[in-house]
Amino acid sequence: MIGLEYPPIENLVEWPNYFGGDSFWALNKIGLISLLAMAIPAAVFLFSKKELVPRGMQNMAESTVEFVENQVILPAIGRDGLRYLPLLLSLFLFVFIGNLFEVIPTFQMPANARMANPMLLALIVWVVFIAVGVKHHGLTYFKDIVWPPGVPVGLRWFVGLIELITVFFIRPFSLAVRLFANMLAGHILLVTFGVLCIAVFTAGLIIVLLPLTFGMLVALTAFEIFVSFLQAFVFALLTAVYIDSSLHPAH
């Protein structure tokens, strides 16, 4: 009854290059969204006035900074972590704005539904938390991971092996995959209901089914805005937790 033709997955996530051919600097929609995810918050910060009573863009910029400070850094690291504010703020805003393009008309594609950005950011976080650990504890940082103090000697090698795999492999992997998979799933969900709406419309079942499918599409769009924020928050928070574990490895 309904001629539903679902597009192949490549058509949902792969985009043609605007220029650059097949070179490594070829710009496609994902690259453009990444640039916009950098430029939009930068513009907000750049054009926000620095007045005593914040309004408009200044309010937005300062609220974001305060959110990252109070909800990410202070609970996860404490006041010591405020020096990582630029990094955590950059991560939060870059992920959040990149995700938000999922619901912006004409783009409708989250930058993090492609593996490049999540993998890149996870690698940066991986390098940062290892560097923080080495900077504050020297090579003891590695020793405490593979030979954790306070664990019975018989179990130490086993726990050390688990810690080694967890800290150096699973952390960056899970960080990247969590963000990528959530955004890709959300994107596919929105496409699914979008396609369903078109199919129902084409089949002439407007009165009966279109309100349901369209209502669901609107609800999922709102939900995906929430997920965009949540994933950015989780990414920044986990980064803060990893940095804290490097600052205080015994805990």
Partner 1 sequence: MLHALLLAAEEGGAEEAASNPILPTMNELFWGAIAFGVMYFLLAYVLLPPVQRARNDRAATIQANKDAAESARAKAVSATAEVSDQLAGVRAETVTMLEQARAEAEAERQRLVSRADREVQAMKDLVESEIATEREEALATMRPQVADLAVGAASKMTGRQVDLAAVRPLVDRYLDNPN
Query: Judged by CB under 8 A, which stretch of 10-18, 130-138, 207-215, 224-232 contacts partner 1?
Result: 10-18
- 17 versus 221: smaller Cβ distance to partner 1: 17
Cβ–Cβ under 8 Å, residues 239 and 39: no
Coil/strand/helix, residue 12: helix
Query: Binding residue for partner 1 (CB under 8 A) from 67, 71, 85, 192?
Result: 85
At a CB cut-off of 8 Å and minimum separation 6, what does 160 contact? 145, 146, 147, 148, 151
- 182 versus 213: smaller Cβ distance to partner 1: 182
Reduced DSSP (H G I as helix, E B as strand, rest coil) percent helix, strand, coil of the chain, to 5: 75, 0, 20
Query: Binding residue for partner 1 (CB under 8 A) from 2, 4, 9, 104?
Result: 9
Residues 46-65 that bind partner 1 (CB under 8 A): 46, 48, 50-52, 54, 58, 61-62, 65
Site string for partner 1, 171-200 (x = CB under 8 A): ---------x---x----------------
- 34 versus 213: smaller Cβ distance to partner 1: 34
The CA distance from 132 to 145, in Å, is: 14
Q: Does 207 interact with partner 1 (rule: CB under 8 A)?
A: no
- Give the chain's largest Cα–Cα span: 71
Residues 101-160 that bind partner 1 (CB under 8 A): 111, 114-117, 119-121, 124
The CA distance from 88 to 69, in Å, is: 9
